[in-house]
Structure 1
Amino acid sequence: MQHRFFLFPLLFLAIGILISSCIEEQNAKVLPGSTGKSGELIVVIDAKYWDSKLGKTTREVLGFEHVALPQPEPYFSLVNIPHSVFKGLFKTHRNILILSVGAGQKKLLTNVKNKWATSQLVIYISGPNTDAVIELLNANKSTVAGGFEVKERNRLRGKFKRVRDKAVSAIIKKHLNIEFSVPKGYEVAAQEENFVWIRRETPDISQGILIYKTKYTDDSTFTSTAILAIRDSITKAYVPGPLDGSYMTSMKDFQPLVKEMDFLGNYAMEARGLWRVEGDFMGGPFLSYTLLSPNKKEVVCLEGYVYAPKYKKRNYLREIEAILYSYRSE
C-alpha cells in the first residue's frame, strides 16, 4: 500500500512535466501576425549590392511600373534593409526577399511560407557571385513577382471572407446563380436578372463591381473589341455620371491591355484599362475578367473600377481584384 501512495506524486509530476513540455512546444509554434503595408516588400541586401547591377535587376523584377493606372506606381513598394539590421520587427514583415551573395553560397532559390510570422512569404535567392543571383532573378521573374502577388491577393481574400456581407452575396446569387463573396461596406446600386452592380462609397473614394452575363455565340466574344464594346454598352446603360446624360465609358486614348488567362480554372480574358465619364471629368482604372461559364452557353463578366482622385490607386484596385477572385460557379 505504501508503494501505491508513493506512485501518485510521481504520476502527477510526470503529467505536469508532459503538460509543461506540450505547452512549451505549442508556444514555440505560435507565430505573430505579419506586419507591413499592403503592396510593400522588404529586400534584404547590403547597400553595395543594392546600388549595383543586382539592385537594378531587383527593382526591374519587382518595382516596375504597374500597368493601366492613371499615374505611375510601382508593382511593389520596395524597402531595402541590409543584412546587419534585418532583425526584430523586420523579420515579421509580410513580404521578404533575401538576396545572399558570397563565395560559400550555393546558387539556389527557395520559397518559405510563415517563416517568422503568419501569412508571410519569404523568398531566398543566393549565389556565389552577383551574376549568379542576377541569373536566378531573371530566370524566375514570374515565380518571384507572381508569388508575392498571389500572397497579397490571398491575404485580402481571407480578410474579406471574415467580414462577408451575406445579404449582398445572396442578391448576386439570386440574379446570376453564382457564388460571390462581398465584404461589408458594399451596397447594391442596381440589380436585375443577369446583372448586379455593387459599390463602396466614401467622401473621397469609390470602388465598384459589375457582374453580368451574356449569351455565348462564338469565340469572337473573347476579342478585345467585343469585350470593350459589351463593357461600354453596360456602363452606359447602368452607371451614370454626376450630371444629366453623363455615363461611364472606356478611355479611348488608352488602349486597354487584354490577355488570355486561366481564371480559377476557367478560360478567360483579362482586361486592364482606364475609364472616364462622358460629359464630366471623372476617371480611373478598371479591371475585368470575361470567362466562359461551365455550361458553355453563357459568358460571365466580372469587372471592378476605382475612383480615388486624391490617392494612389494600386492597392484599391488590388482589393477589387481580390473580391473578383471570390467568384465560384454553380
Structure 2
Amino acid sequence: MKKLGTLLIATALLALGSCKDSGSKKKFLPPSTGGINSLMVIMDTELWRGPVGEKIRDEFAAQIIGLPQIEPKFTLTQVPPKVFKGTTTHSRSILYVEQDSTSLAHIKDNAYAKPQKVAVVTGPTEEVMIQNLDSLADRAIKAFKANEIAEAQRRFERSLSKDRALEEAFGIRLKVPSLYKVGKREDNFVWMDIQIPKGTMNIIAYEMPWDYFSNDSTFVEDIVKMRDSIGKKYIPGPYENTYMITEKAFAPYVFPAEIGGKKAAEVKGVWEIHGYPMAGPFLTYIINDKENNRKMIIEGFTFAPSEAKRDYMFELEAILKTVDFEPTPPAAD
C-alpha cells in the first residue's frame, strides 16, 4: 500500500506542479520509452497469476480483429511494484494495479515521463479490482492506442516523403515515411509501397462518386464490390488473371470513424489474390468528402507471410490518420 501511496502522491504533485509552474520552472520530464504497442503492467506476481491478471490479459491482450492470425492488442510485460523505479517508470504506457483499501480507476498523463499514459486501478478485493478494470479498460485502451499512434507518427515524421503524387491526383496529403515509393500512378489511382523483410507494406488511394454507397442495407456488400473492382483493375497478382479481392470467407468489419476532420467508415478485413494462394490484412478509410462531392478512399495493406502483422498494420494506420484535405500553402516569394 505504501508504494501505491507514493505513486498517487507523485502524480498529484506532478499535476499541481504543471499548473503552478511556468517557463523554465516546469519540472523536467524525460522522454518516454518502449516498443510500439507495449504495455508495462505493474502489479504483484501473485495477482498477475490469478483472476485479476486474467482480466487484464482478456482486456489488454485481446485478439485484434481483422488480422489473419491471432495477435494481441498490446504486448504485456508484468513487473512487480518493488522494481517500478528508475527508467522503468519512463515506459510510455503503464497499467498500475494494486490491492488497496481505496477503490480507484483513472488515467494520468505524463506522471514520470512524456508522453505517457498511466492507468491506475485499485480495490480492497479482487472482485472490486476486476470491476474497476472492467469500467476502465475501454477508456484505457483508447488512451494507450492514441498515445501509440502519436508516437509512431513522431518516429516516421523524422524523414517524410516529398512525393506529391497524392496531392496532385486527389488534393490530399499524407505524412508518409520517405522509404515508401510510388510504384503505380494511373487515372484515379496511386499506389505507394515499401519492402519489408518478407514482403511489402502498401498504401493506395482512389476516389468514388459521392452517391456510390446509396443503400445502408448493402453497405458492406458495396464495400466488397468496390474493393474487388479496384483490385481487378489496378492490383494484379503474380500471374495472368490473378488480382486482389476481399477474402470471400468472412465479411470485413466496419466501424464509424472521423479522419482528416471528416466523417468516415473504417473497414478492417483480409484480402486475398483471386486464383493464387496469397493473403493479408487491410485497413480502409472511406471518407465523406462532401466539399469535393466524392468518397475519398485511402487504404493500407500488408503482405508478410508467416510474420506477425500487428505492428505493420499499426504503422499503416498511423500514416493514414495523417490525411489532410487542406491545400498546400503557397510558397513564400
- CA–CA distance in structure 2, aligned partners of residues 221 and 194 of structure 1: 24
Aligned to 1:53: 51
Aligned to 1:260: 256
Secondary structure in structure 1 of the residue aligned to 2:276: coil
Measured after TM superposition, the shift of residue 197 of structure 1 is 0.9
Q: Show the 5 A alignment for 1:220-299.
A: 220=214, 223-295=219-291, 297-299=293-295
Q: Which amino acid aligns with 2:36?
A: S
1:201 equivalent to 2:195? Answer yes
Identity of counterpart residues, as a percentage?
A: 32
**Could you tell me the TM-score, scaled by structure 2's length?**
0.85
Aligned to 1:17: none
**Could you tell me the TM-score, scaled by structure 1's length?**
0.86
Measured after TM superposition, the shift of residue 80 of structure 1 is 1.1
Measured after TM superposition, the shift of residue 44 of structure 1 is 0.7
Residue pair 1:227, 1:290 contacting (<8 A) in 2 also: no
Residue pair 2:260, 2:325 contacting (<8 A) in 1 also: no
Secondary structure in structure 1 of the residue aligned to 2:113: coil
- CA–CA distance in structure 1, aligned partners of residues 276 and 157 of structure 2: 35
Equivalent position to 1:110, from 94, 106, 109: 106
Q: Which amino acid aligns with 2:313?
A: L
- CA–CA distance in structure 1, aligned partners of residues 95 and 200 of structure 2: 33
Counterparts in 2 of 1:126 and 1:319: CA distance versus 1, 3 Å: same
User: Mean alpha-carbon deviation: is it higher for 282-291 or for 46-55?
Assistant: 46-55
Residue pair 1:221, 1:227 contacting (<8 A) in 2 also: no
Secondary structure in structure 2 of the residue aligned to 1:71: coil
Equivalent position to 1:101, from 65, 81, 99: 99
Residue pair 1:294, 1:329 contacting (<8 A) in 2 also: no
Secondary structure in structure 2 of the residue aligned to 1:214: strand
Aligned to 2:177: 183
Secondary structure in structure 1 of the residue aligned to 2:249: coil
Residue pair 2:174, 2:322 contacting (<8 A) in 1 also: yes
Q: Show the 5 A alignment for 1:1-330.
A: 29-103=27-101, 105=102, 107-167=103-163, 170-217=164-211, 219-220=213-214, 223-295=219-291, 297-330=293-326
- CA–CA distance in structure 2, aligned partners of residues 287 and 145 of structure 1: 19
Measured after TM superposition, the shift of residue 67 of structure 1 is 0.8
Secondary structure in structure 2 of the residue aligned to 1:329: coil
Q: Which amino acid aligns with 1:50?
A: W
- The structure having more radius of gyration, on CA atoms, is 1
Residue pair 2:92, 2:116 contacting (<8 A) in 1 also: yes
Counterparts in 2 of 1:219 and 1:234: CA distance versus 1, 3 Å: closer
- CA–CA distance in structure 2, aligned partners of residues 99 and 187 of structure 1: 45
Q: CA RMSD in A?
A: 2.0
- CA–CA distance in structure 2, aligned partners of residues 133 and 192 of structure 1: 56
Q: Which amino acid aligns with 1:95?
A: S
Q: Which amino acid aligns with 2:82?
A: S
Measured after TM superposition, the shift of residue 323 of structure 1 is 0.4
- CA–CA distance in structure 2, aligned partners of residues 136 and 30 of structure 1: 32
- CA–CA distance in structure 1, aligned partners of residues 320 and 305 of structure 2: 23
- CA–CA distance in structure 2, aligned partners of residues 180 and 258 of structure 1: 22
CA deviation map 1:214-266 (0-9, x unaligned): 11126537611111111111111111122222211111012211122333442
Query: Structure 2 stretches of 5 or more lacking a match?
Result: 1-22, 327-333
Secondary structure in structure 2 of the residue aligned to 1:179: coil
Q: Which amino acid aligns with 1:275?
A: W
Residue pair 2:210, 2:295 contacting (<8 A) in 1 also: yes
Residue pair 2:36, 2:152 contacting (<8 A) in 1 also: no
- CA–CA distance in structure 1, aligned partners of residues 124 and 251 of structure 2: 44
Residue pair 1:239, 1:247 contacting (<8 A) in 2 also: yes
- CA–CA distance in structure 2, aligned partners of residues 310 and 53 of structure 1: 33
Q: Which amino acid aligns with 1:182?
A: V
